[in-house]
Amino acid sequence: MKLTGAGVGRGAVIGPVVRIAPAPAAPAHEPVPEDPTSAAADVVAAFDAVAAGLRAQAGSAEGAAVAVLGATAQMAEDRALRKQTLAKVAAGEGPVTALDSVVGGFVEMFTKAGGMLAERVTDLRSVRDRVAAHILGVPAPGVPHLSVPSVVVAQDLAPADTAALDLSLVLAIVTELGGTTSHTAIIAGQRGIPCLVRVAGALELAEGAVVAVDAAAGTLEVDPGPEVAEAFALRADVARRLAEDVSPGATADGMPVNLLANIGTAADAARVAGDACEGVGLFRTEVLFLDRTSAPTREEQAEVYAQVLRSFAGRKVVVRTLDAGADKPLAFATQLDEENPALGVRGYRLVRTAPELLETQLAALADAQRVTGVQPWVMAPMISTPGEARDFAAAARRHGLTTVGVMVEVPAAALRADAILAEVDFVSMGTNDLAQYVMATDRLRGELSDLINLWQPAVLDLVAATAAAGRRAGKPAGVCGESAADPVMAVVLTGLGVTSLSMSAGAVPLVRYAVAQHTLAQAEAVAQAALAADSAEAARAAAIAALVPGVAATLGL
Ligand SMILES: C=C(OP(=O)(O)O)C(=O)O
Ligand SMILES: [Mg+2]
């Protein structure tokens, strides 16, 4: 059996399936319990079992997870929660329905109260899901404990779920929902973990079934034959051979194109520092803020930033300030009443509602600069106007950070790139959000993946306009969205005048190879071929056809 989906990365792996159970829904018409006393006893037993399970998990967890699990266990032990649920069951409501409405009431109350209480809403929902699963006799939702390298299959994964996985044992991630530029896919890609999203039928895969996941082809095959394993091994060989080239990125005629890595944590930095990349082009600092009830302190942040700077001492490190909101919600910063969070207070816009977050972060970064003697580049996400760029640059410089840039990921910033570049030292294009906003298509959902395709000519036009503005200003204009990881797109971007490409470290060798096979003029011809097309498919096909002979075959295209 073969399933198809949209792949992230180019990896191909074979391994057993481990399923992540989705949160159980309350049955539509849950029957009234025949014996309310025994139903009440079941509810108490479910609360007790969940609390005990969480306490046991906390006992074997490490770091921040201990406190999170302990706090969730405490909630499962909460007397008011139990008492109100039991009262409803005694009055004849189905136990899951009762639990659902009591938790719903608490969620509303906590949310209205704001502050610390609002931060407990996620814990409350997690307790509800676990207790409901216990009552219904279905697998507990949430991230499983992995004991062998596995292919993790889920309906969808929030960034916090991904953070809770032991990624060293994750061979691949397969989801039924989600999009290729959603953060979970990106975080996985950054770790070199192949990801397949939008896989219809993924949830029907049996636990333990052996599957072959090919992210480049976008396929999943159940019980693959030995020829599949052989083909995967061959591909790995080509990739290994190309990875032996450690020269700096450049076109065939010597025009430099910096090849940089995207990272999310200090551990990522330590892991990829030994790889042949010229630095970090995007440090997604929000990963440090995820799954917490309050922001990390200045000291805590400074320590992490210093670790990253030390790992890459002597190389460029571009640190992006907090990009929270929308698909990266933080309990302590996200606006709860936004109907369109992707269009709301996210990224740099948080200076309007929580200015101390940016101030603390810039101070911590300056501390890290001081203790390591390494000067980071710093940039802000979600900048829309030259005024925002100016304000951010002023704030960063006040803290003694000297190389200041912004991301170009909102169409307004691309359209006014000259004016934006007048305010800052560099720009970095976030093609994931740029595509989302240019095409008015939610990057988290895959139904419209044809529209959010990074090859859409309208997206390419704005990238071209921004790169041209960079050339005019004589300032670096890089790309750090997923576009940079695609070796064919990398040639197009080079031809458009993009000065650096930042991607998951595992993508660097193929990108280096593709760029190095073309002179600047040849890359420009590839870019023009793509720009002249009138659809995403035609743009990619035209670019592939314009590559110098032999490159497409080596790339397996
Ligand atoms: C690099 C980008 O930022 P993120 O994916 O973290 O939103 C982007 O939008 O392309
Ligand atoms: Mg972005």
Domain of residue 502, CATH code? 3.20.20.60
208 and 266 in a single domain? The answer is: no
Residue 222 lies in a domain: yes
402 and 418 in a single domain? The answer is: yes
Instruction: Give the Å distances, CA to CA, from 6 to 179, 194, 299, 502.
Output: 8, 11, 40, 21
Give the three-state DSSP class for 212.
Answer: strand
Residue 433 Cβ inside 6 Å of ligand 1? The answer reads yes
* Nearest CA residue ID for atom 10, ligand 1: 430
Residue 220 lies in a domain: yes
Which range (14-28, 349-363, 396-410) has the least confidence? 14-28
Residue 428 Cβ inside 6 Å of ligand 1? The answer reads no
Give the three-state DSSP class for 377.
Answer: strand
63 and 198 in a single domain? The answer is: no
* Nearest CA residue ID for atom 3, ligand 1: 430
The b-or-e profile of 479-491 (16+ CB within 10 A means b, else e) is bbbbbbbbbbbbb
158 and 88 in a single domain? The answer is: no
Where residue 391 falls among pLDDT bands split at 50, 70, 90? very high
As for how many domains the chain has, the answer is 3
Residue 34: per-residue pLDDT: 85
Give the three-state DSSP class for 261.
Answer: strand
Q: What is 2-44 written as a DSSP string?
A: EEE-EEESS-EEEEEEEEPPPPPPPPTTPPPPS-HHHHHHHHH
Domain carrying residue 522: 247-282+317-323+379-554
Residue 215 in this model has a pLDDT that exceeds 70: yes
Between 136 and 461, whose confidence is greater?
461
Q: Could you give phi then psi for residue 430, rounded to 5 degrees?
A: -100, 95
> What distance in Å separates the CA atoms of residue 268 and residue 279, rounded to the nearest whole number?
12
The answer to whether 292 is annotated as binding is: no
Choose one of 113, 136, 159: the last residue of a domain. 136
Q: What is the arithmetic mean of pLDDT over 498-507?
A: 94
* Nearest CA residue ID for atom 7, ligand 1: 433
444 and 542 in a single domain? The answer is: yes
Mean pLDDT (the chain, rounded) = 90
> What distance in Å separates the CA atoms of residue 502 and residue 469, rounded to the nearest whole number?
19
Choose one of 203, 220, 238: the last residue of a domain. 238
Which range (33-47, 242-256, 383-397) has the least confidence? 33-47
Where residue 244 falls among pLDDT bands split at 50, 70, 90? very high
Q: What pLDDT digit, counting tens, does each position of 67-123 carry?
A: 667 778 888 999 999 999 999 998 888 899 999 999 999 888 887 776 666 667 777
Atom of ligand 1 nearest to the CA of 183: 5
How many other β-carbons are positioned within 10 Å of the β-carbon of residue 238?
15
Residue 516 lies in a domain: yes
Q: What is the CATH number of the domain that holds 208?
A: 3.50.30.10
Q: What pLDDT digit, counting tens, does each position of 267-319 carry?
A: 999 999 988 899 999 999 998 988 777 899 999 999 999 999 999 999 999 99
Residue 323 Cβ inside 6 Å of ligand 1? The answer reads yes
Q: What is the CATH number of the domain that holds 61?
A: 1.10.274.10
> What distance in Å separates the CA atoms of residue 541 and residue 538, rounded to the nearest whole number?
5
Residue 86 lies in a domain: yes
Residue 502 Cβ inside 6 Å of ligand 1? The answer reads no
Choose one of 108, 136, 164: the last residue of a domain. 136
132 and 13 in a single domain? The answer is: no
How many other β-carbons are positioned within 10 Å of the β-carbon of residue 244?
8
